[in-house]
Amino acid sequence: MSRIAIMVEFGIKPGSWAAFDAHIRAHAQATLREEPGCERFDVLQPLGEDGAPDHSRIMLCEVYRDMAAVEAHRANPRMKLVGEGSKPLLASRTLTLCRLD
């Protein structure tokens, strides 16, 4: 059975980077602590052409043991709170599921 990766790119509203960064990092730590099917959860900070952090975006790379672990993640009651806390801070969200062989 293949592992599953979730790639997410968030567009962050002006002035909201620090709040969203703290919010999503707490979510990443809780996911790793609470969900045994989550093998990795990285919060990535894109850089601009000049090498400086691009505070208009944050990306995630999550790796799960299998699709059942992804479904368990989606069903975690904390996900509703994460979504509610994120909504006022975000301009966009693009999520891609990937098979990781």
pLDDT at 1: 72
Helix (H, G, I), strand (E, B) or coil at 29: helix
3-state SS of 1-25 is: CCEEEEEEEEEECCCCHHHHHHHHH
Domain of 94, in residue numbers: 3-100
CATH of the domain at 59: 3.30.70.100
Question: Measured between alpha carbons, how far is 66 from 43 in angstroms, rounded to an integer?
Answer: 20
In sequence order, what are the residues at sequence separation of 6 or more whose Cβ sits closer than 8 angstroms to the Cβ of residue 72?
35, 37
Angle at 10 between CA 90 and CA 91, to 5 degrees: 30
Q: What is the DSSP pairing of strand 57-64 with strand 38-44?
A: antiparallel
pLDDT at 101: 86
Question: pLDDT, tens digit, for every residue of 43-54?
Answer: 999 999 999 999
Domain count, the chain: 1
Name residue, tokens 């368990």.
Answer: 72
Question: CB–CB of 93/72 below 8 Å?
Answer: no
Residues in the chain where the model's pLDDT stays below 50 = none
